[in-house]
Structure formats: C-alpha cells, structure tokens
Amino acid sequence: MGEADVTDAAGRVLAVLRDAGRAECTVRAYRVVLDRFAAFLVERGLEEASEGVCVEFVAEQTGVRLGSLREPVNDRDVKAVRRPVVLVAEVLAGRAIEVDRSVIAVKDGCPGRFGPVRDDYVDCCREQGNAEATVATKDKAASRFLGYLDEVGVDDLAALGVRDVAGFLVRLRGLGLGRKTIASMRSCVADFLRFLAATGRAPCGLAERMPPHRHVRHESEPHLWTVDEIRRVLGVIDRQSACGKRDYAMILTTARLGLRISDLRQLELGDLDWRSKTITIVQEKTGRPLSLPLLDDVGWAVIDYVRDGRPETACRKVFVKHRHPFDAFGCASSIACRLSRHAARAEIVFGPGEVCGMHSLRGALAVAMIGNATPIPVVSAVLGHASSDTTQAYYLRFDVQRLRCCALDVEDVIEQGG
C-alpha cells in the first residue's frame, strides 16, 4: 500500500460525504485528518491500516489511547479523528462506505436464541397501534428480561415460572433503579408475558401472578420555574448560532404554550397558521385535536429559526436535528436535555429530586395560570386535558399559596372538636 492508495481512498471517502449532503466544512475537517493519516502511514512505511495502526494514529493526534478502535468514548476530539480514520480503513479493506452508520455498533440486549420471539413481540406491538416510543420501551424491557433468563439458564420459555419472573424483579430492585422505572419495566414485562401466553410460548397467568410493586405516582416533583428563571435561561442561549435559535424557539414554545415534549417533536410546519395566528395539532399522547394561539414572541422565535437556523431538509417537522441527515428528533433523542444544559449555564439551582426537563415548563405554566385565577377549564383546554379533573388532580397541588389559604386553624378545629 503506497501513498497513492491512501490518497485515493481518502478521495473516495470525501466524495461519498459530499454525495450524502455533508456540509463543506465537515468535508474539509475530514480532509485535514485524512491527509495527516496518509502522512502517518507513509512516514512509518506501514502497509495496512489495521486497527492497531488506527489506534496508534488516534493516540498521536489526541493523546488518548483507546483500548479498541470502536470502544465508546465521549471525547469530541477523539471522535473527530477516529471517524474519518474508520471510514478510510473501510475503503482500504475493500468494504463499502456507510457514512450514516455509527462507529460504535449498537448492542442488542436480547440473546440471539431469543431474538425471533422478541422480534415477533415488537411486530405485534406495532400491529396493535403502539406509538414508537412505547414500542421502544417494550422492546427494551422484553430484551432485558430475556437477557436475564439467558443468564440464569432458562432454556425453554414453556417452562417459565413465577420464580423466574420474581427473580428478574428482584434483580431490578438490586440495581438501584427508581420506583417509577421498575414499575414501567414490570408493566412491560407483564405485557410480554401475556403475549407469550397468547402465542403458546409460555404458561398462562404468569402476568397476573407477578409480585406487586408499590409505586408512588408523584414520588418526584417538577421544578416550578419562576418567570425570572425562564428569562435567565432564555438569556444565556446563543441566538446567533443555528442550534441556539432552535433551542430558544423550543424552550420558549414550551414555556409559553405548555406543549408536551412529544407534541413539540412532532410539530410540523403545516401546523402553524400564520394568518389566524394559531397552532393546531393532534396530540401524540391522547390523539385529541388541540388548537393554541400562536403568540407573537413564539411566532418570531420560530420564524428566526426557520429562516436563518434550520438546515435545508425535506423533513416537515419544525424542529430538526442539526446533524446529517437533518431529520426529526427520535423518541429517545436528546431534545429533553436541552433545557437542563442551558439552565446550568444560567446557574439555576434545582432542589433534591426535582424534575427539571422540558415537561417541567408545562407544569410551571399550569401553576402560573392557576395562580393568576385562570379558570380550571381554561387551563385544561390549554394543556390539552380531556377532563378538568386531570388538571386539578395533578397541578392544583402545586399552587401552595392558595392551598395555604384553605388550611384550617388548629385551635379552631380543637375548640369545635371539644
């Protein structure tokens, strides 16, 4: 292998990147790394770009020595060097270039011998109309359960017993997972057991005989954002950058309109009626239509993002990922952590156990509306609740100031009781 071979391989990588729609700045960054890699190989007289050679090059460039070329790593500098090297090594080895494939192979938690059963279950969930987020959660729970069975030596699902199921739940509790997480996992495993029973793969009734699990619904409370805190968070966002324009519009939309994160992800350009200044959607969670006013500050924030920040893409969603192929946020994407990142920059302090994700802004809006004497039916309509009972049951308890007005004087109660 000579310098010409490496240069040719690098050229092919860059050509594929351009064909895939990568930005020219990305192509230039790859070229810099690949030119250095070619010089590295030639200077050492190396005949192949083996894994050991690639690891050595990454170590020379970044000062970080990886145990293996494809091990998980969080260092951005390492990622920036490793990715081009992996692609050119694929070309030199005679393999096709797949620019959208992750360097780190996605691990399937389901044992291979149980794979067909798990796949049938996932297909069944989709046929039943489960949302993709629900399918992903059930897939993860079923795979984890099957992985446990494989670990403890259960070979035949037909011989599955209550002891096996209980052992899995005990294992979960021993991992220190939250009650809500365990409750969700238990529910998914119960659904999986019903599927196994219905398809004749496991005994009937196991789901109903699962050990109980006490879950306090409101074990953790959302952070009740103040107006000042929200302004501080919005104020630290860099609105000159494309990602900053997007994050500003997403956070402002959630804070002002109370959209669920699932509806924010699914919001499409066609849902915005600029003439009537309304946003009309079908809620992802309930399937019910919801129409909200397109407030001026929200509208201008969205316009600023769409015009000057949103990448060119065929995706119809308003908010998209800023990495190729610039498609919609997935159900397990990082959209939920955007708020906490900016909150940290704004030096917002959260109490122990407080939930501070995007959904907490929805709660803050509800409490603010209730505190301003907005009628509960109006609050319910804004939040998209089917019933005012839902609003009162969850959000009314956060209006501490008004609840204090309802408190009875202890002495009066004692006197009346006497």
Q: Are residues 125 and 248 in the same domain?
A: no
Nearest CA-CA partner of 37 in 25, 50, 22: 50
pLDDT tens column, 117-142: 999 999 999 999 887 778 888 999 99
The average pLDDT across 20-48 equals 83
Boundary-marking domain end, from 209, 243, 267 = 209
* SS3 call for 321: coil
Q: Identify whether the C-beta of residue 384 lies closer than 8 Å to the C-beta of residue 290.
A: yes
- Residue 418 placed within a domain: no
- What b/e readout covers 170-195, taking b as 16+ CB neighbours within 10 angstroms? eebeeeeeeeeebbbbbbbbbbbbbb
Which band of pLDDT confidence, cut at 50, 70 and 90, is reported for residue 248?
very high
- Looking only at the bridges linking them, the beta strands covering 289-293 and 278-282 are antiparallel
> 258 in the Ramachandran plot: left (φ > 0), alpha (ψ -120 to 50) or beta?
left
- Residue 100 placed within a domain: no
Q: Are residues 241 and 323 in the same domain?
A: yes
Nearest CA-CA partner of 106 in 138, 81, 143: 143
pLDDT tens column, 186-206: 999 999 999 999 999 999 999
**Structure-block tokens of residue 218:** 């409101």
**112: Cβ contacts below 8 Å, ≥ 6 apart:** none
Q: What percent of the chain has pLDDT over 90?
A: 26
pLDDT tens column, 29-39: 889 988 888 88
What is the per-residue DSSP string for 385-407?
Answer: -S-HHHHHHHTGGG-HHHHHHHP
Q: Identify whether the C-beta of residue 196 lies closer than 8 Å to the C-beta of residue 117.
A: yes
Q: Are residues 180 and 259 in the same domain?
A: no
pLDDT at residue number 4: 62
pLDDT at residue number 362: 84
**Structure-block tokens of residue 355:** 């939930």
Q: Are residues 71 and 118 in the same domain?
A: no
Which band of pLDDT confidence, cut at 50, 70 and 90, is reported for residue 68?
confident
Q: Identify whether the C-beta of residue 47 lies closer than 8 Å to the C-beta of residue 1.
A: yes
Measured CA to CA, the distance from residue 95 to residue 88 in angstroms comes to 10
The average pLDDT across 94-104 equals 69
Boundary-marking domain end, from 150, 182, 209 = 209
Q: Are residues 58 and 123 in the same domain?
A: no
Full residue range of the structural domain in which residue 34 is found: 3-92
**Torsions phi, psi for 252 (to 5 deg):** -65, -40
Amino acid at 346: A
Q: Before 311, cis peptide (omega within 30)? A: no
- Residue 105 placed within a domain: no
Q: Are residues 174 and 245 in the same domain?
A: no
Could you tell me the CATH number of the domain that includes residue 176? 1.10.150.130
| pLDDT above 60: residue 313 | yes
Q: Are residues 137 and 70 in the same domain?
A: no
The average pLDDT across 167-189 equals 84
**Structure-block tokens of residue 146:** 């099957």
| pLDDT above 90: residue 273 | yes
Which band of pLDDT confidence, cut at 50, 70 and 90, is reported for residue 234?
very high
Say which residue the tokens 């403890």 belong to. Answer: 152
Nearest CA-CA partner of 30 in 45, 15, 44: 15
Measured CA to CA, the distance from residue 17 to residue 336 in angstroms comes to 29
Task: List, in sequence order, every beta strand (DSSP E) within 56-118.
Answer: none
Give 390 or 185, the one with higher predicted confidence: 185
Q: Are residues 275 and 333 in the same domain?
A: yes
Average pLDDT, rounded, for the chain = 82
Nearest CA-CA partner of 368 in 261, 228, 263, 247: 228
| pLDDT above 70: residue 163 | yes
Give the CA-trace dihedral at 247, 248, 250, 253, to 10 degrees.
170
Q: Are residues 277 and 395 in the same domain?
A: yes
Q: Are residues 124 and 86 in the same domain?
A: no
Boundary-marking domain end, from 183, 209, 235 = 209
pLDDT tens column, 333-343: 566 677 888 88
Q: Which of 42-46, 100-104, 255-259, 344-348 has the lowest mean pLDDT?
A: 100-104
| pLDDT above 70: residue 357 | yes
pLDDT at residue number 84: 87
- Number of domains into which the chain is organized: 3
Could you tell me the CATH number of the domain that includes residue 240? 1.10.443.10
